Homo-oligomer: A and B are copies of this chain.
Amino acid sequence: MDTQPIRLPSVAGATRSAGYPTRPPLRRFLTDCHEEFRGDSSGELADYIPELKRANPDHFGIALVTIDGHVYEVGDSAVPFTIQSVSKAFVFALALETVGEERVSATIGVEPSGEAFNSIRLTNDNRPFNPMVNAGAIACSGLIYEVDGKGAFERVRSKLSEFAGRELGVDEAVHASETATGNRNRAIAWLLRNYAVLPDDVDAVLDVYFRQCAILVTARDLAVMAATLANRGINPVTGAQVITPHIVARTLSVMTSSGMYDYAGEWTYRVGIPAKSGVGGGIVAALPSQLGLGTFSPLLDNHFNSVRGLKVCEALSARFDLHMLNRNADVRTSVMADYDVYGISSRRSRQPHEQQILDERHSDIRIVELVGALNFGTIDYVTRRLTSEPPNAPLLIIDFRRVPDITAAGAELLGETLTALGNANVTTILSGLEEASAVWAAIAARTGDPRRLRRFALLDDAIEWAEDQVIYRFGGFTDVKESVHLGEQALLAELDTDEIAAIVKLSTTRHYTAGQRVIAAGAPANSLFFLQSGMVSVKLRSGVRLASLGPGMEFGEMAILERTRSADVFADTPVACLELPLDSFADYRRLHPETALKIMRNLAAILARRLVAANAKVDLLSAY
């Protein structure tokens, strides 16, 4: 994934001190929320673990982390507290990762229980109702214990640390207090043991569970953990893939149906953001592809949910219409541009007869430029365009440089279409993709005949390759080793034999080996070149190619107008050319103004043609 898709040409040198205000509206909203809800001191501190009674009821922190890893923090967002039941969501994800979905399903259900979180009741087939009640969470810890034994807690702590993006520790006092008083959970655990849901070492499993509940987090930690769920398992701050997207969807599902206890239906209806709360006063809420929210305020309502935390969730959802089922998208914006190469060309300059073939066969090359992350809906739209609007192009270029990601479903649909196109003798060229990119790997793995699929990092290279195919197919292939007569140079068009002979006389023949630099950017521009055999490339210092030229073409001709070389020119192959020094030409010009006028007219005509092509490209690119 390209983490820096935006170029800011002018900002680099600009001062950051003056001008714009510095508070994005979301920060202001969260500050307002904090200001408003801190005044609400309703609710009670949790008392079923004596140590939790010692919390400071005034503490109130909010943190929100976006999908691109930006962190908003307000109030006591750095104050540590014990994670408690919020851990259940993440330990469930870890259980799925550790023992697999089948084993987890056989052990724990996913239906809402309709009872309190610490109910001892099990389903008719003696499983915990779901992993968000204590019985189900203890069963999850048991599954991990079965695999890791004494390493089970460290695995839990380590995974939760990955979610948070920092190493998390344990509040030993709360752990001791919970161990001393957690008799109801002991009863649940032994009942689970009775039905063989838990292994023999019930006390060891309980210790994993008690310890995981005593892990210390901040509101900021919870927000990062939530954002990792919202970002398909990739921690947006550290960039690490913590868990698979599949497990994320399963985890958010149980948070949706059971995360807020017997308030779940109401929560889905009113707030519509998968969430989990804990008696330590924390709430995590994760809205896929949008945000992760973490709140901390230890005063709890009669559902054991944090009073102020709930209010923040409700206000955020209501103000910004964030219900998970309220989504908009227009699949049509996934196609940025769809055109053939009429008036467009790669930066490789062509011989006149080659250019004529390209002009006649412009509809043989179709270019489709995509934009944005590609999912089921957008790729369905794209494949429909590709299959239902046949411009009959045997060469199809699909440009991915603005595509950060493709879902497995998208790659599946696209791969099938490209295979069908290959069978119909269409060669597809994917551009804007590096060899090592995940998008390329996903598509290539799903496309049939690899001979019908090409990849280039740059769209321009893809167009050049496609042009070569068309020229070759229509017999226009030129041997660049063949030397050309100076009369074929566009700059010397309409000069008679004597005039050309005079130019040759003023010039010197030069030879260069492949890779050699012919012209250096920044050097004085005091000559121009006529390429007689071989290929050269005109390049910027950045390595960007401005043009590739072959026999019969001139380069360095801007010296007639400018005093300094604006780009490098390198020989791509062994090259032979004539160099005409401008001071000799100046003398010549004085003696033969009619000839000089022809050359100047030719230069103006060359520039005019290039300007027409450049303007066509601007119009095309601006049209979308």
CA distance A24 to B381 in the complex (A): 9
Q: Does A413 contact B (CB under 8 A)?
A: yes
State whether the Cβ of A245 lies closer than 8 Å to any Cβ in chain B. Answer: yes
Residue A373, interface by CB 8 Å: yes
* Contact present for A424 and B561 (CB under 8 Å): no
Of the candidates B11, B19, B66, which one forms a contact with A380 in the assembled complex, judged by CB atoms under 8 Å apart? Answer: B66
Chain B residues in 8 Å Cβ range of A336: 371, 402
CB-CB under 8 A for A67 and B407, given A412-B320, A424-B20: no
Structural contact, B10 and A249, CB atoms closer than 8 A: no
Please measure, in the bound complex, the distance between the C-alpha atom of A76 and the C-alpha atom of B206, giving whole angstroms.
56
- Given known pairs A326-B246, A371-B333, the reply for A560 and B601 (CB within 8 Å) is yes
Q: 1/0 per residue A263-284: CB within 8 Å of B?
A: 0111011001010000000000
Using A5-B624, A111-B265, A268-B256 as known contacts, say yes or no to A392 and B18 having CB atoms under 8 A apart: yes
Q: Are A332 and B614 in contact (CB under 8 A)?
A: no
Q: Give residues 229-283 of A contacting B (CB, 8 Å).
A: 232, 245-246, 248-250, 252-254, 256-258, 262, 264-266, 268-269, 272, 274
Q: With the chains together, A414 CA to B601 CA distance in Å? A: 52
Determine if A66 and B339 form an interchain contact, defined as CB atoms under 8 angstroms apart: no
Contact check, A320 vs B10: say whether CB atoms are below 8 A apart: no
**Is B322 a contact of A409 with CB atoms below 8 Å?**
yes
The interface residues of chain B lying within 8 Å CB-to-CB of A563 are none
Smallest distance from the beta carbon of A560 to chain B beta carbons, Å? Answer: 7
Q: Are B110 and A266 in contact (CB under 8 A)?
A: yes
Inter-chain contacts of A331 with B (CB < 8 A): 66-68
Given contacts A560-B601, A600-B597, contact A373 B24 (CB under 8 A): no
Contact in complex: B257, A390 (CB < 8 Å): no
Q: Which residues of B contact A321 (CB under 8 A)?
A: 245-246, 376, 407-409
Contact for A8 among B19, B322, B389, CB less than 8 A: B389
How far, in whole Å, are A23 and B561 apart by their CA atoms in the complex?
Answer: 56
Contact in complex: B594, A330 (CB < 8 Å):
no
- Is A539 an interface residue when CB atoms closer than 8 A count as contact? no
A407 to B114, CA, bound (A): 35
Partner of A319, one of B21, B409, B560, B594: B409
B289 engages A327 (CB within 8 Å): yes
| Bitwise interface map of A from 378 to 415 toward B, beta carbon under 8 Å scored 1, else 0 | 00110110111111111000000010110111001100
- Report yes or no: B375 in contact with A290, Cβ–Cβ below 8 A: yes
A618 an interface residue at 8 Å Cβ cutoff? yes
Q: A541 on the interface (CB 8 Å rule)?
A: no
A 185-201 binary contact with B (CB < 8 Å = 1; else 0)? 00000000000000000
Chain B residues with CB under 8 Å of A373's CB are: 328-330, 333
Determine how close the nearest CB of chain B comes to the CB of A588; give it in whole angstroms.
12
Residue-wise, chain A 96-128 has the 8 Å CB interface mask toward B (1 for contact) of 000000000000011110100000000000000
A165 within 8 A of B: no
Residue of chain B at shortest CB distance from A231 = B328
A404 to B331, CA, bound (A): 10
> Quick one: CB contact mask for A16-37 with B, threshold 8 Å, 1 for yes?
1011111111101000000000
Instruction: Assess the A6–B111 pair: CB atoms within 8 A.
Output: no
Query: Chain B contacts of A391 at CB under 8 A?
Result: 8, 10-11, 14, 19
A240, B296: Cα distance in complex, Å: 44
**Cβ contact within 8 Å between B320 and A363:** no
Separation of A622 and B604 alpha carbons in the complex (Å): 26
Q: How far is the CB of A616 from chain B (nearest CB, A)?
A: 9
Q: CB within 8 A of A288: which of B262, B325, B404, B596?
A: B325
Given A289-B329, A329-B373, A340 and B254 touching (CB < 8 A)? no
Q: Determine if A356 is an interface residue (Cβ-Cβ < 8 Å).
A: no
User: Are B561 and A67 in touch, CB under 8 angstroms?
Assistant: no
**A272: B residues at CB distance < 8 A:** 249, 253
Q: Are B620 and A622 in contact (CB under 8 A)?
A: no
The distance from the CB of A30 to the nearest CB of chain B, in whole angstroms, is: 11
Contact B363 A10 (CB under 8 A): yes
Tell me the minimal C-beta distance from A64 to chain B in angstroms.
Answer: 9
Report the separation of the CA atoms of residues A468 and B624 in the bound assembly, to the nearest whole angstrom: 26
A600 partner, pick from B7, B407, B604, beta carbons under 8 A: B604
Query: A249-B272, A257-B257 in contact; A111/B325 too (CB < 8 A)?
Result: no
Complex CA–CA separation, A615 to B544 (angstroms): 13
Residue of chain B at shortest CB distance from A28: B416
Residues on A facing B (Cβ under 8 Å):
1, 3, 5-11, 14-16, 18-26, 28, 66-68, 70, 109-112, 114, 130, 232, 245-246, 248-250, 252-254, 256-258, 262, 264-266, 268-269, 272, 274, 288-291, 319-333, 335-340, 342, 362-363, 366, 371-373, 375-377, 380-381, 383-384, 386-394, 402, 404-405, 407-409, 412-413, 416-417, 420-421, 423-424, 426, 459, 544, 546, 558, 560-562, 589, 593-594, 596-597, 600-601, 603-605, 607-608, 610-611, 614-615, 617-624
User: Could you name 23 residue pairs across A and B whose Cβ atoms are closer than 8 Å?
Assistant: A9-B342, A10-B342, A14-B392, A20-B390, A24-B383, A24-B388, A25-B416, A26-B380, A67-B330, A68-B331, A111-B264, A232-B327, A252-B325, A253-B269, A253-B323, A258-B265, A320-B376, A324-B324, A328-B373, A328-B375, A336-B371, A607-B611, A618-B621
